[in-house]
Amino acid sequence: MRMTKLLITMAGIVGLALVATSLERRTAGAQQPQTSGGSDRLVVQLCDGETKLEIAEARAGEILPPEKAREVARRMMAAYAEQQAKQVSKWTARDRLTWEREQKRVIEEGYKLFHDWKALGGTIGISCDMCHPDAAATHPETYPKFQTQLKRVAALRDMINWCIENPMKGKPLSPDDPRMIALEAYITSERKGVPLDPGKH
């Protein structure tokens, strides 16, 4: 997320530089100055693609001298800074949408793997859902806990891999395998709201 943020800021600065340059050169670009309905004032747009700034002392289409163009750029930066100061959360609606969509996508991927022995590398026709309809009896909220049969404290993913290797006769997944993460996402989503109780037997 921090990286994205940095990129947006950099893009903003580059954008502003472009605006300034384009104003000087009278060329059209992505940040092309616009006129707003009826008014002949110069209107520039901030790099969020929404906020517009009217420059009172410049006309639309006017060729700005470097001094004036730099002043416009300064005002745009100020408007951006003001916007930043007003925003309480650093996360935007777009971020929230991304979270939701990605979560849903990974849960759905997990659901598919959970119900498809071939996709998960099983070899004898047994899929997870055959013993765990709706991920029942997986109780992810009880891990990590001591697993008598493994003789150690095990995580949910250890149990997932155990099931892949034994009843399903497949090959275990690496812990960072996207399929493992998808399975965890689906299994835990089915127990959403159940209080965490690690160690429960």
Partner 1 sequence: MWPLKWKKREQEYRRQREEFFEAVKRLNRRDFLKVAGLSAAVFTAKTVVPPHSFQVVDVVRAEPQEKPLFRFAYISDTHLYERELNERFVNAALRAVRDVNALNPPPDFVLFGGDLAQLGQPKELELGKQILSELKVPVKMMVGEHDWFLDMGEKWRELFGPENYSFDHKGVHFIVLMSVNEKDFWTERGMTPMERMLTVAQLDNPLQSRFEVGEEGREWLRRDLAKVSKDTPIIIFSHSPLYKYYRPWNFWTEDAEAIHEMLFPFKSVTVIHGHTHQLLTHRIQNIHFHGMLATAWPWPYAPEGLPKLTVPMERPDPFDEADGTGWGSVDVHRDGYVDKHYSLWSRNPITVAKAYLESWGKEAIPPAPEFPPY
Angle at 91 (CA atoms; ends 95, 141), nearest 5 degrees: 70
The single residue among 70, 112, 139, 145 that binds partner 1, judged by CB under 8 A, is 139
Query: In this complex, which beta carbon is closest to partner 1, that of residue 62 or of residue 141?
Result: 141
HSE of 194, CA atoms in CB hemisphere, 13 A: 16
Residue 94 phi/psi, 5-degree rounding, is: -65, -40
Is residue 30 involved in binding partner 1 (CB under 8 A)?
A: no
Binding mask 143-182 for partner 1 (x = CB under 8 A): -----xx-x----------xx--xx---------------
**CB contact at 8 A, 150 and 161:** no
Q: What is the DSSP letter of 53?
A: E
The single residue among 125, 175, 178, 199 that binds partner 1, judged by CB under 8 A, is 125
> Please, what is the minimum distance in Å from the beta carbon of residue 100 to partner 1?
22
Q: What is the distance between the alpha carbons of residues 45 and 104, in angstroms, rounded to a whole number?
A: 34
Q: Under the rule (CB under 8 A), what is the footprint of partner 1?
A: 115, 124-126, 129-134, 136-137, 139, 142, 148-149, 151, 162-163, 166-167, 201
